[in-house]
Structure 1
Amino acid sequence: MTDRTKEQPIVSVMPDQVLVLEWETVKDTVSPDRVKYLQEIAQSAEAPGNDWLYDLGFKQFSWDFSAALDYFLRFSRCFIRALLKTTELETLRQDAVIDLPAGLVSDFISACPMMAGAEYVTAGMLEGLWQEFNGAFARDIEAFKGGVSDYFREKKPDLHPAGRVFFHLVENKNSDLPFAFMTTYSAGMGANGKPKHLPLKHAIETHDDDELLTLLSTVYKAAEKSRIVTDLIESGEFFHPLAWDGDEAFCFLKEIPDYEACGVLCRIPDWWKQSAATPRVTISLGDNKPIMAGLNALPDFNASVELGGLALSRQEVETILEQSQDLAFIKNKEVKLTKAQLNRLDLVITSYTLVKKYAWLAKYSWHCLILDEAQAIKNPATQQTRAVKTLPAAHRIVMTGTPVENRLSDLWSLFDFLNPGLLDNKTEFSGFAKTLFKRRTKRHTTAAEVIEKSDMAPQKVRNILSGLIIKGKLERVSRGVYKWVRPEPR
């Protein structure tokens, strides 16, 4: 029986865009309880016709998965969140069709991690996966005998599907009180197939006490978490339109995740939902070609703070910092940023040598870690390489013109930094490299053919390296070292 205490499941994408679960070796020992659960996931994924990824999206875990599995798990959770926000779901049931949120596919395409078969992760593949989730819900809810709320509670007890009450926040820039708040409820489906909205005060006249309590059940859940909602209910203002200043609106906007978790849907300005309304640091490299020696060898670059693609001037940044309110009106946009947030926009440029010296670099969780001249970490045994690999980061990029300097195994250390385990462990990869060299005996045998026929290398390694070589991504390496790996010209 295979010992899974040193392995974890990963996802590979096949040429037909089917997801396949495989196992990779990890450094740390996995607890028996976790191994048992991971094996259940793997068995579920292998069962024909099983909606394992859809079901996995309902669950929360206290540990991290491999980058590839976590990627598809996050996509599944996006569907679950969209499903929970769908109004009149009890009426629609299996006829409900959950649309892809705008921009979601492009966001996931740009964030795709390194994995076996990453080249097959396309917009069409993700759109098809989303439709599979729609089909999984339709089959589930059609076979389920209870209500939609009961279905979600069975999946996960603390999930609350969208109720019929909506919170609205709209802008009125011509007023001293620039925001208006009001509540509505869905009164069934209109002729256009969308929910009809009526002011919530009308429900007092048309619903009896029991019906009104049912209608407001999600609001009372939200009141348990929110002092704002509690005060509105107790004062009676909840059923009437209200004018708010920026501070009141900001406090409301910060609590929206709590409201939606309780089943209350919120209609708010687009700038709050879009990341473009948050200032961000942008680094752009110049077009001037650097000379090969002296200070000018460094590429020219420009650092700026941008809002919605427009650069902020020093005066505009200072305006944000001086604001006493949490919302500032800059470049015709309401800016949701505090001083502390702006002060946390950090960029650190350092050298490989200093990474070993400054232990504090490993105490931060970096958004993106970029290695220039990444062949500097080709030797996994050096202190320098080990120090770099301990830096925590959500995203990792390596830049090098010579990914292979002395031997093919130089590649392993670079991939071990980008996605540990993707090319298996160093011993297995070194064995594969030696096998590749030995098989390279016939003059007209290309490296791609050798890799494809190598029965001593793991299938995952063959798939990855074969793809790299065929695509010519390793053309800019030392020709004298790599000439036996590159495919022969035709």
Structure 2
Amino acid sequence: MNKELNVVVMPNGSLHTEWIETKETIDKSARLLQKEIFNRFTTDADAGLLYLGFCDNNIILTPSLEYWRNFAEQFARELSRTSELETLRHNAHIAVDKNWLVKFADSAPLMPGSEYISAELLETMWSKLNTSFRKAIKSYKGTVEEFIRIYSPDLHALKEYENQKDKLLELLATVHLAARKSLFLADLLNTGELFHPMFWKPSQAFSFLKQVSIYESCGILCRIPNWWKGKPSRLGINISVGNAKPSLVGMDALLNFDVRLNLGNIHISEEEAKRLLQESEGLAFIKNKWVAVDPDRLKQTLDAYENAKKLMTEQGLSLKDALRLQLKPEKLLDVNAAEINCSVSNGKWLDSVVKKLLNPDLISSQKPGKAFKAKLRKYQQIGVDWLLFLHSLCFGACLADDMGLGKTVQVLAFLNILASNFKKSGSSRQASLLVIPASLISNWVNEIQRFSPDLKYFVAHPGSNSEAKARGKNKAALNASDLVITTFGLVQKYKWLQSHSWNYIILDEAQAIKNPGTKQARAVKNLNCRNRIIMTGTPIENRLSDLWSLFDFLNPGLLGNVKEFKQFSKEIGRDHSGYAGLRKLISPYILRRLKTDKSVISDLPDKIEMKTYATLSKKQILLYKKLTDDIKETIDHTEGIKRKGIILASLMKFKQLCNHPDQYLGTGQFNENESGKFLRLREICETIYEKREKLLLFTQFKEMTQPLAEFLEGIFERNGLVLHGSIPVGKRKNIIEQFQSSSYVPFMVLSLKAGGVGLNLTEANHVVHFDRWWNPAVENQATDRAFRIGQKKNVVVHKFLTKGTVEERIDMMLEEKARLSHDVIAASGESLITEMKNEELMDLFKLTL
């Protein structure tokens, strides 16, 4: 399989290149250029970015590389236009237009790290280009022009030559080159007019301006009026949608719309536009500005305007169609986008709605009832308000907050308010359906019991509830619950889930439906409901291919059908400006706050600690029950020191079994499907990888470090590091330096004792305690390897627990009894657990499912 090179923006704002397998054929020139780019980035990423600006732009690259090539090319163009560049050399400073940076940030393709791209980041990258050029030219002995020719034979740095004959001849070489591509310039050259001052008619000026890009590509510095820079003013049609509030809510609500003729940002009348049609010289002066006049296009625009006025009087637009017009406004008028300049703007009502969706702090607040136990942070309350506002509009919502920011508690607060509203209105309750991976059932149940104990819920899963099938036959019984919880797999299996009419369908880990062709995705999309919410910690803008399926569930039809979206994807693959329109369309329905956001970071603790619950696999359950039976029989016939030894050994065995059956048995290949912890670890690490963040994973068992490292290598698609007590002290420094380096080393697996002392690993964003030491002091010491002086990131700490096992019960004991905050199983002296009665011990050890 072929490999293509991509550029990823890392969490710290640096650029990182990585190879991705692809089914696409890559020609030889693209392979060679990609290899050269990779080598340069590997040596010096900033110098690699500068090289991108000068490399052959006729060779097709991946969208991420193309984006950064376009960025660096803009720097190269500005560099080539700089007067006296040869004199300035390393003292040159190339300025950048701040407005251009904002627009360029909006046009970023959907790719890993795109959420980190902003005008501020691009300004930093531009500064790095300046530094890289100054550094390179300072050490170069030849001329600036020779330097640039080495980078790119098609781009030349020019100067003003005054009366220097040799330099003038050199300049004329570029003019002759341009004349081969431009008949207009060739005529001026042949007649000799080019060498004298000229007074042009508007038609001649228009001919010249249209070909400026040709002249500049040949190395000619063109000084053109500001009103022509960028896109010249052209007559266009603007469709203003949603000035008045519709009578109904939802994507099918009908909106009024208005049609206007615009000249750039200025409205003109139909009579003024018709006067323009009489101009035949290419340029006309109207409203104090010069305007490009193409009679054929102008006539087509006026005809399309007349058609739009007829549509306006005959019918309205559905909200869904109105929003989709932002991608292809010409579709409403059935015209060619290349011929007609057509745009869409939001009317007064729709504009106020979109502003609130994009700025949720503008939305009026509604707090959950007193029965809700969680104290919401400010940004979490804003998230709840945002969900309620979308609820009032009947729009689907994607809650995509960073991992650790509390998406679950926000959704529970939202459901609490819905339940209160049902009660206040006197209307009958309608259950919502939560669809999640089976591995998350325990987490949700725990969060409900902890934060929203009054919420009536039912788990539709045989592993958690033996009545799952029976309950489903009774619709009234279903609606007696506020929330029914099931899995993606059971949505296909239980027909009653498909036939019931739900209030909300809520998906957690929504990437499970990113492939629209799977049975799982089709089954979920066939569910009947009033509205929909998806939750994901993974950036949904990483891949264009995943986006359509998620929005097809969330707000069906908003991105068109799959055929239309594939065609749109091909078009923006060629013209990246379409990404800005796509982002504008989907952004109102996505709420994503990062731990680094200014609105969030002041509201967060330095360490975000969360318990991560895993369920036992079938194999683990069988072995756990057998181990429990064996212990019961043994302790009934032993006492004293021997009994204590058996209890301590048994606790160790339970820990091993909760990690993975193969650790307990001492055999096997550590199949991930045989361990609930391995499955949960995958889900967490897939999100960490999508954000290119780093992880520390602690285990107290040295024998688990290698199996875990091999498992993580498969998720992160690259090697990580392992550190345990058997590794010589001399080698540890090198291992730490590798992890702390700017290169992407995604994880380090550490045995708890080896990783607990004397290490500084502040590159990590996440800490996972895969198994519990049951001593908070020891665990906190390990966590502080990531959270130390010098740490600039918020650290998320995941403490793994297997549901219904001794792990969960001892964790509860630690929380409930402050006197157990020291070692529960002490090395000396009497310990609480070993002194328990047999009945108490078996209650501690028994499995509850």
> TM class by shorter-chain length?
0.5 to 0.7
Moved more, 228-237 or 264-273: 228-237
- Find out whether 1:461 has 2:690 as its counterpart: yes
1:15 to 11, 17, 25: 11
- CA shift for structure 1 position 327: 1.0
Distance 1:300 1:98, change over 3 A: same
Residue by residue, what CA displacement relative to the aligned partner does 1:340-396 show, whole Å, maximum 9, x if unpaired? 4446768999999xx9xxxxx9x98899999x9899x97723898431332133323
Query: What residue number does 1:197 align with?
Result: none
Distance 1:451 1:89, change over 3 A: farther
Residue by residue, what CA displacement relative to the aligned partner does 1:239-269 show, whole Å, maximum 9, x if unpaired? 4432221111112222222332333322222
- CA shift for structure 1 position 294: 12
Partners of 1:291 and 1:27 in 2: how far apart?
49
Query: What residue number does 1:304 align with?
Result: 260
Partners of 1:278 and 1:107 in 2: how far apart?
20
Query: What residue number does 1:389 align with?
Result: 565
2:217 to 245, 258, 261: 261
1:122 to 95, 118, 125: 118
Residue by residue, what CA displacement relative to the aligned partner does 1:299-327 show, whole Å, maximum 9, x if unpaired? 22223232231112112222233322211
Larger radius of gyration: 2
- CA shift for structure 1 position 37: 4.0
State how 1:210-289 maps to structure 2 within 5 Å: 210=166, 212-214=168-170, 216-233=172-189, 235-275=191-231, 277-289=233-245
- Find out whether 1:47 has 2:43 as its counterpart: yes
State how 1:85-484 maps to structure 2 within 5 Å: 85-101=81-97, 103-164=99-160, 187=162, 203=163, 210=166, 212-214=168-170, 216-233=172-189, 235-275=191-231, 277-292=233-248, 297-342=253-298, 380-381=516-517, 385-392=561-568, 393-394=571-572, 395=578, 396-397=582-583, 398-399=585-586, 439=614, 454=683, 457=686, 459-461=688-690
Moved more, 83-92 or 60-69: 60-69
- CA shift for structure 1 position 87: 1.8
Partners of 2:189 and 2:29 in 1: how far apart?
46
Partners of 2:124 and 2:56 in 1: how far apart?
24
- CA shift for structure 1 position 330: 2.0
CA contact (8 A) 1:11 1:20 kept: yes
Partners of 2:176 and 2:683 in 1: how far apart?
64
Ranges in structure 1 where 5+ consecutive residues have no aligned partner: 165-185, 188-202, 356-360, 405-436, 442-449, 468-490
For the residue of structure 2 that corresponds to 1:457, the secondary structure is helix
Distance 1:133 1:251, change over 3 A: same
For the residue of structure 2 that corresponds to 1:280, the secondary structure is strand
Residue by residue, what CA displacement relative to the aligned partner does 1:142-173 show, whole Å, maximum 9, x if unpaired? 22232222222222223222242xxxxxxxxx
Partners of 1:344 and 1:68 in 2: how far apart?
36
- CA shift for structure 1 position 73: 1.6
Query: What residue number does 2:480 align with?
Result: none
CA contact (8 A) 1:9 1:69 kept: yes
CA contact (8 A) 1:373 1:400 kept: no
For the residue of structure 2 that corresponds to 1:28, the secondary structure is coil
Distance 1:388 1:263, change over 3 A: closer
- Find out whether 1:66 has 2:62 as its counterpart: yes
For the residue of structure 1 that corresponds to 2:154, the secondary structure is coil
TM-score when normalising by structure 1: 0.63
Partners of 1:273 and 1:401 in 2: how far apart?
31
CA contact (8 A) 1:280 1:307 kept: yes
Partners of 2:45 and 2:514 in 1: how far apart?
43
For the residue of structure 2 that corresponds to 1:388, the secondary structure is helix
Letter in 2 for 1:121: I
Distance 1:313 1:162, change over 3 A: same
Letter in 1 for 2:92: A
Distance 1:402 1:266, change over 3 A: closer
CA contact (8 A) 2:145 2:158 kept: no
CA contact (8 A) 1:282 1:305 kept: yes
- CA shift for structure 1 position 233: 4.8
- CA shift for structure 1 position 282: 2.7
Percent same amino acid at aligned positions? Answer: 31
Letter in 2 for 1:72: W
- CA shift for structure 1 position 438: 7.8
CA contact (8 A) 1:305 1:311 kept: yes
Partners of 1:244 and 1:110 in 2: how far apart?
38
Partners of 1:279 and 1:143 in 2: how far apart?
50
CA contact (8 A) 1:13 1:118 kept: yes
For the residue of structure 2 that corresponds to 1:22, the secondary structure is strand
Distance 1:157 1:210, change over 3 A: closer
Partners of 2:158 and 2:396 in 1: how far apart?
48
Partners of 2:588 and 2:142 in 1: how far apart?
60
For the residue of structure 1 that corresponds to 2:248, the secondary structure is coil
For the residue of structure 2 that corresponds to 1:76, the secondary structure is helix
Letter in 2 for 1:213: L
Distance 1:293 1:25, change over 3 A: same
Letter in 2 for 1:324: S
- CA shift for structure 1 position 285: 2.6
Query: What residue number does 1:445 align with?
Result: none
Partners of 1:90 and 1:308 in 2: how far apart?
38
CA contact (8 A) 1:283 1:301 kept: yes
- CA shift for structure 1 position 129: 0.9
Distance 1:253 1:401, change over 3 A: closer
Query: What residue number does 1:475 align with?
Result: none
Letter in 2 for 1:256: V
- CA shift for structure 1 position 56: 1.5
Ranges in structure 2 where 5+ consecutive residues have no aligned partner: 312-316, 325-330, 345-393, 398-512, 523-548, 550-559, 573-577, 592-611, 617-678, 694-764, 766-849
Partners of 1:451 and 1:336 in 2: how far apart?
60
For the residue of structure 2 that corresponds to 1:320, the secondary structure is helix
Residue by residue, what CA displacement relative to the aligned partner does 1:112-147 show, whole Å, maximum 9, x if unpaired? 333333332222211111121112222222222322
Give the helix-richer structure, 1 or 2. 2
TM-score when normalising by structure 2: 0.38
Letter in 2 for 1:52: G
CA contact (8 A) 1:163 1:218 kept: no
Letter in 1 for 2:158: A
